[in-house]
Structure 1
Amino acid sequence: AASVRRFEAKEMDLVYNFSADQIPRLRNAYGDSVHISPSLSTEYYAFDTRAEPYNDVRVRRALSMVIDRDFLAKVIYSGSQLPAHSMVPPGIESYGEPFGADFADMSQLDCLDVAIELMKEAGYGEGGNPLNIEIRYNTNPNHERVATAVADMWKNAFGAKVSLLNLDVASHFAYLQEDGKFNVARAGWVAEYSDAESFLALSVSGNKTFNYGKFNNPRYDALMKQSYTERDPAARSIILHEAEKILMKEQPIAPLLTQAYLWLVSDKVQGWQDNAPNQHLSKFLSVAE
């Protein structure tokens, strides 16, 4: 709060990580000086593809489609997170634009209509088999708010009975990494380096540690293996995009949110560029008098 006041008094030209609840006021006052850019992170829900009904792509797609990610980002996180429809976040220079889910540009109403039909085809929802879902998450107020909101979305769309189970972070991820059975589980990934592989490798069938839902797709595995030995950056990017296309079609994971970087940047600052690694070297910046 103090740094924002100093920015408003023109005593500071850069402010990082201000409170998200100030976004509307600051945007109204300073417009393009408010920078909200994606980080190298993705929060997602994993489906346990070993068991019914989550071994059915129609069920996974339907559940993912009715999640209102804009609501999660804007209402629950006050704009400090961005909606995610791809496993790979935007902003990775070597990768380019991520391959998002094919329903990413559909309205929520259109998504709902298609999702209800998919769920009916799979034999669940109104007039079909009951849909009982447990969402597991690591204890955190925002994770609880997200789970509660998603539970309501699934109840309203499919008449699902949804329960919530939270554990401390160590117990939650230990359970998942020890092959514990589940329905839906919250997970997240923050890359240590700016490369799409960091996110896509999580869903390789041989990844015993982080492929929580045990997704197994031979074509996906083959593409990822091919990407490891491809030395041409452009060709490698094409291979990784093909892999992400499969991942987003199959939806073994439902991307939810990408954490955002919040900056206030004075219009006097020259050379500023938002970037996913959040690196802003002073040698590339200057301040106009």
Structure 2
Amino acid sequence: MKKWLLGLFSTALLFSIVTGCSTTPSEKAQPATTTPQPTKSTDTPSTEPMVLHWSVTGEPPTMDPGIATDASSMDMINLVFEGLTTVDRQGQMINAVADSFTNSPDFTQFHFTIRKDAKWSNGDPVTAHDFEYAIKRNLDPKTASGYAYQLFYIKGGEEFFNGTGKAEDVAVKATDDYTLDFTLRSPTPWFRELTSFTTYYPLHKKSVDGNPKWAGEAASIVGNGPFLIDSWEHKAKLAFSKSPTYWDKANVKLDKIEIAVIEDNNTALSMFENGDLDWGGYPSFGLSPDAIGQIKDEGKLVVADNPGTKAVIFNTQKPPFTNKKIRQAFSYSIDRKLLIDNILQTGVPAAYGWVPTSMGLNPDGYFKEDMEKAKQLLAEGMAELGLKEFPKVTYYYDTGETDKKIAQALQDEWKKTLGITIDIRTSEWKVFNTDVQSGKYDFGIWLWGADFNDPINFLEMYKDKDGGNNVIRFDNKEYRDLLNKSYYETDPAKRKQLMFDAEKILMEEMPLAPLHFRGNAYVKNDKVKDFVIFPLGGSYFKYAYIEK
């Protein structure tokens, strides 16, 4: 295979990386499309175990389905846990732990029957009570679930989370061991899709209660998914094996999955080329711009078109980004086409709105680049803040060659257009994510991938100032009122207009500056079959196998 790296790594270095790494930079991807693969028979006379060698670019912060907000954690969680629904080999939604379901005509009542052959990895049966327990536990404010707001569709969920209601008022109910009923606060046609998300996964109560660190070590994790977690050497590697108690183990072909935590994407690509890893690029690791260019020239580049948006985010609680005009100035002065053509090279569209155009809210966007207007807005914003000189600000990104090049390009752009000199800093993903979530940054890069296929998923994260995933600390009453009204609007056209009006406010206030819509690059490995990239992004290993 032709090498796509500019530098070479020694055999000794590669061996040391396979056996243990100490740091874990990553690019956020949230958790898009399936990877089309022909289905072939996996019957083989070989007695050797079938092992998939994978990598992640950052240490998974947690294996707790109710706590995880990042792609690395969710990919690992989907190995070990399973919800009511999942996808088939073509990425279409199917029942998983649910044996069947029904819903009321107005989509306010959902009734799931739990399959009786579903078991936890310790042999205990998976019951409807495990789902009720997990959902109420994730809504408990003491749990501090970043995705708790995705459970607010359940009647009483938001009230319990906000402290104005009780757990017993949350309308998810296990009426017996195998029957789970939901009553929703308003019509929610996409609710079944939501049940495939990790926040809705069941939890093994005896393993979770009384052990706050249960999700950080392999020995204490009891799952119900297609694989078991055998070992977890932090910041080095994770190992998984096929679960003997999984209800659909006949369709799990891999015996083992060995996942190395590899900080450097070029190192991971070199290992893929040498046969030490079985996948090259997303969703395992990010391809550098240099590698993408060369793979593209060879005609081997594949881009998964997963709905998502990358943006520059501003901490609206920290001056000077408390000022709307200054945020607008930074956004209007970005040459998005230059970033896409010269750095990304994947042909993704420039973003002039936060909601992906594939969701049909406003394909035309809400603004355009305007260098002269940017200069004017900067001057007006500084005057409003009483600034004669622009203060020192630092742009923050997690390690990754693409984000590094974007940071450098933006630094040059803002110097040239606005006359502003900015500093740049970087941290490994786990540190970066913690800092951004806690507001310890001025401004920087952020990527959001769809959790479900509706514009509300991109808008509601900024509805409440202290809500989960509101890393920009956006707080706007009119925006909040529009989204709250959209939850109860049953007319599709009127609901769309409410969300359009909300996004228009978001793009006028500009607490974030969209750069481009998501496109995830990888190079196809022909021997890996039936590996599925979730329609909204992320890894699904259940059906994967390696053709000998």
TM-score bucket (shorter structure): 0.7 to 0.9
2:339 equivalent to 1:72: yes
Give 1:25 shift.
7.7
Specify which of 401, 412, 425 is matched with residue 152 of structure 1. 412
Q: Distance in 2 between matches of 1:201 and 1:242?
A: 13
Is the alpha carbon distance of 1:63 and 1:121 closer, same or farther for their aligned partners in structure 2, counting shifts above 3 Å? same
Long gaps (5+) in structure 2: 3-37, 39-281, 523-534, 538-548
Q: Distance in 2 between matches of 1:156 and 1:164?
A: 16
User: What's the secondary structure of 1:161's corresponding residue?
Assistant: coil
Quote the residue 2:31 is aligned against: none
Specify which of 413, 418, 432 is matched with residue 172 of structure 1. 432
Quote the residue 1:130 is aligned against: 390
Give 1:78 shift.
1.1
8 Å CA contact 2:465, 2:474 repeated in 1: no
Q: Distance in 2 between matches of 1:199 and 1:51?
A: 23
Alignment of 1:186-265 (within 5 A): 186-260=445-519
Q: Distance in 2 between matches of 1:188 and 1:220?
A: 21
Q: Distance in 2 between matches of 1:157 and 1:128?
A: 18
Amino acid at match of 2:403: H
1:8-55 deviation digits (Å, cap 9, x = unpaired) = xxxx9xxxx9984355786xxxxxxx9978531111111111122111
Give 1:244 shift.
0.4
Normalising by structure 1, what TM-score? 0.73
Q: Distance in 2 between matches of 1:225 and 1:277?
A: 25
Amino acid at match of 2:365: G
8 Å CA contact 1:80, 1:259 repeated in 2: no
Quote the residue 2:525 is aligned against: none
Specify which of 39, 49, 54 is matched with residue 306 of structure 2. 39
- RCO (CA 8 Å, sep 6+): is it higher in 1 or 2? 1
Specify which of 73, 97, 101 is matched with residue 362 of structure 2. 97
Q: Distance in 2 between matches of 1:231 and 1:170?
A: 40
8 Å CA contact 2:362, 2:500 repeated in 1: no
User: What's the secondary structure of 1:238's corresponding residue?
Assistant: helix
User: What's the secondary structure of 1:165's corresponding residue?
Assistant: strand
Amino acid at match of 2:306: S
8 Å CA contact 1:72, 1:83 repeated in 2: no
Specify which of 378, 388, 393 is matched with residue 119 of structure 1. 378
8 Å CA contact 1:133, 1:160 repeated in 2: no
Quote the residue 1:55 is aligned against: 322
8 Å CA contact 1:80, 1:262 repeated in 2: no
Q: Distance in 1 between matches of 2:322 and 2:404?
A: 25
Normalising by structure 2, what TM-score? 0.40
Q: Distance in 1 between matches of 2:521 and 2:343?
A: 16
Amino acid at match of 2:319: E
2:139 equivalent to 1:139: no
Give 1:84 shift.
1.1
Long gaps (5+) in structure 1: 3-11, 27-33, 264-275, 279-289
Q: Radius of gyration: which is bigger? A: 2
8 Å CA contact 1:43, 1:186 repeated in 2: yes
Give 1:139 shift.
0.9
8 Å CA contact 2:436, 2:471 repeated in 1: yes
Give 1:201 shift.
1.4
Q: Distance in 1 between matches of 2:536 and 2:313?
A: 25
8 Å CA contact 2:355, 2:361 repeated in 1: no
8 Å CA contact 2:324, 2:381 repeated in 1: no
1:123-155 deviation digits (Å, cap 9, x = unpaired) = 37xx93224221011111111111111111111
8 Å CA contact 1:48, 1:214 repeated in 2: yes
User: What's the secondary structure of 1:193's corresponding residue?
Assistant: coil
Amino acid at match of 1:194: N
8 Å CA contact 2:482, 2:501 repeated in 1: yes
Is the alpha carbon distance of 1:168 and 1:149 closer, same or farther for their aligned partners in structure 2, counting shifts above 3 Å? same
Q: Distance in 2 between matches of 1:152 and 1:195?
A: 36
> Matched residue pairs, number?
238
Amino acid at match of 1:204: K
Give 1:88 shift.
0.5
Is the alpha carbon distance of 1:143 and 1:35 closer, same or farther for their aligned partners in structure 2, counting shifts above 3 Å? closer
8 Å CA contact 1:40, 1:277 repeated in 2: yes
Q: Distance in 2 between matches of 1:208 and 1:261?
A: 28
8 Å CA contact 1:131, 1:159 repeated in 2: no
Identity %: 24
Quote the residue 1:281 is aligned against: none
Give 1:237 shift.
0.8
Give 1:232 shift.
2.0
Q: Distance in 2 between matches of 1:262 and 1:43?
A: 15
Quote the residue 1:8 is aligned against: none
8 Å CA contact 2:333, 2:413 repeated in 1: yes
Q: How large is the RMSD of aligned CA atoms in angstroms?
A: 3.0
Quote the residue 2:354 is aligned against: 87
User: What's the secondary structure of 1:154's corresponding residue?
Assistant: helix
Give 1:85 shift.
1.2
Amino acid at match of 1:176: V
User: What's the secondary structure of 2:339's corresponding residue?
Assistant: helix
8 Å CA contact 1:91, 1:97 repeated in 2: no
User: What's the secondary structure of 2:513's corresponding residue?
Assistant: strand
8 Å CA contact 2:306, 2:536 repeated in 1: yes
Is the alpha carbon distance of 1:253 and 1:62 closer, same or farther for their aligned partners in structure 2, counting shifts above 3 Å? same
User: What's the secondary structure of 1:174's corresponding residue?
Assistant: helix
